[in-house]
Amino acid sequence: MTSTKQGRPPRILSGIQPSGQLHIGNYLGALKQWVELQTQYDSFYCIVDLHAITVQQDPAALREGTRRNAGLYLACGLDPQHSTVFVQSHVPEHSELAWILGTFTPMGWLNRMTQFKDKTSKMQTESIGSGLYNYPILMAADILLYQADLVPVGDDQRQHLELTRDLAQRFNSIYGDTFTIPQTFTPKAGARVMGLDNPTAKMSKSESSDLHAINLLDTPDRIKKKMMRAVTDSGSEIRFSDLDERAGVNNLLTIYQAFTGESAEVIENHFVGKGYGDLKKAVAEVTVEGLRPIQERYQALTGEGGYIDEVLKRGAERAREVAHKTLRSVQERVGFLLP
């Protein structure tokens, strides 16, 4: 493990919202990489429930989703010995730092956020909560509180990372070195999984169509049914491709590759002379097999009464130690009378 200028191992932080079900896009694009990174970095992985309530949530479903996601983080291989796994709202420093950072964030910066524009383009202004507008500030607080060096996120979060860096730089230039400037980290092996029903858009938890995503807890039967109905095209060639009209087949091959670890060449050879039906069946099989150990671990973890809550409690304690130190130094610098 190499170390940073602060003389500690480089730190990683990332998070996923507990709204909706975790799916194979989250696993192959994020969680699987997090697991690999946890032994090389000081890792903080959170369940961002404060972000989830920027759109209305059913309280019972949110609570259940938070515990389920925590269980799935662990089932996917995050190990509390290596990673600090915690729930964002268990660490009140996130909200406190977000407020302070908000006072340093020009509205012009927020107005440029394309995710906000995308999310709200179909909403009435009256129904857009200001939390959704301020979402990137809270995300900056998540990252800066832990002095994270690296933030593994998908392309859709790059702009939020830029804003985080700008904010950290602005604060540092006014008050002196306070925050580590984080880098976006795109692990090479990460697979970008697209929606099965709409293969030109990234697989998403908030999509309502039942045929959009394979969830990590889907039964083998459901996995097969959904895969067999995945959108393809009218061609017949089974090859990787970056053409939009071939995005469906490319997506199936990407999933196959992520679960098997085989090279593109080996995979394409394997499917020579076969049809889309064979491809779908094969992708369903490797998906079922790939998820089986995760589902088994999940069942075992949830069977051990209280284990997940215990991990989250310890995670929040460790997270708070680090977060508290950063928040204190920020409060001091902006001139608060410390209690």
Residues known to be catalytic: 119, 202, 205
We find the least distance from the C-beta atom of residue 50 to ligand TRP, in angstroms, to be: 9
Number of residues that bind ligand TRP (CB under 6 A): 12
Binding to ligand TRP (CB under 6 A): which residues in 172-191?
none
Whole-number Cα distances in Å, 145 to 90, 139, 148, 151, 154: 14, 10, 8, 13, 21
- Reading the block at residue 90, the tokens are 């268990």
We find the least distance from the C-beta atom of residue 36 to ligand TRP, in angstroms, to be: 17
We find the least distance from the C-beta atom of residue 2 to ligand TRP, in angstroms, to be: 22
Q: Give the residue, chosen from 157, 178, 184, 204, that forms a contact with ligand TRP under the rule CB under 6 A.
A: 157
We find the least distance from the C-beta atom of residue 93 to ligand TRP, in angstroms, to be: 14
- Kindly provide the b/e burial profile for residues 156-178, where b requires at least 16 CB atoms within 10 angstroms of the residue's own CB: ebeebbebbbbbbebbeeebeeb
- Which of residues 14 and 232 has its CB atom nearest to ligand TRP in the complex? 14
Binding to ligand TRP (CB under 6 A): which residues in 4-63?
13-15, 17, 48, 51
- Any contact of residue 142 with ligand TRP (CB under 6 A)? yes
Q: SS3 for 271? A: coil
We find the least distance from the C-beta atom of residue 187 to ligand TRP, in angstroms, to be: 13
- Which of residues 11 and 51 has its CB atom nearest to ligand TRP in the complex? 51
Contacts of 63 (CB under 8 A, 6+ apart): none
Contact segment (CB under 6 A) with ligand TRP among 150-158, 217-225, 238-246, 302-310 equals: 150-158
Spatial separation of the C-alpha atoms in residues 312 and 234, rounded to whole Å: 48
Spatial separation of the C-alpha atoms in residues 220 and 285, rounded to whole Å: 8
- Which of residues 13 and 217 has its CB atom nearest to ligand TRP in the complex? 13
Spatial separation of the C-alpha atoms in residues 285 and 276, rounded to whole Å: 14
Q: What is the DSSP letter of 129?
A: -
We find the least distance from the C-beta atom of residue 119 to ligand TRP, in angstroms, to be: 10
Encoded one letter per residue, x for contact with ligand TRP by CB under 6 A and - for no contact, window 70-109 reads ----------------------------------------
Of residues 292, 297, 309, 307, the one with CA closest to residue 66: 309
- Kindly provide the b/e burial profile for residues 8-17, where b requires at least 16 CB atoms within 10 angstroms of the residue's own CB: eebbbbbbbb
- Which of residues 17 and 83 has its CB atom nearest to ligand TRP in the complex? 17
Q: Give the residue, chosen from 151, 167, 217, 323, that forms a contact with ligand TRP under the rule CB under 6 A.
A: 151
We find the least distance from the C-beta atom of residue 287 to ligand TRP, in angstroms, to be: 22
Binding to ligand TRP (CB under 6 A): which residues in 232-291?
none
Tokens 């087949």 locate to 249
Spatial separation of the C-alpha atoms in residues 43 and 79, rounded to whole Å: 10
- Which of residues 18 and 77 has its CB atom nearest to ligand TRP in the complex? 18
- Any contact of residue 153 with ligand TRP (CB under 6 A)? yes
Q: Give the residue, chosen from 37, 143, 196, 255, that forms a contact with ligand TRP under the rule CB under 6 A.
A: 143
Of residues 5, 100, 84, the one with CA closest to residue 38: 84
Contact segment (CB under 6 A) with ligand TRP among 3-11, 53-61, 137-145, 226-234 equals: 137-145
Return the ∠ at Cα 333 (arms to 328 and 339), rounded to 5°.
45
Q: Give the residue, chosen from 35, 101, 139, 284, that forms a contact with ligand TRP under the rule CB under 6 A.
A: 139
- Any contact of residue 65 with ligand TRP (CB under 6 A)? no
Q: Is 198 within 8 Å of 54 (Cβ atoms)?
A: no
Spatial separation of the C-alpha atoms in residues 31 and 76, rounded to whole Å: 7
Q: Which residues lie near ligand TRP (CB under 6 A)? A: 13-15, 17, 48, 51, 139, 142-143, 151, 153, 157
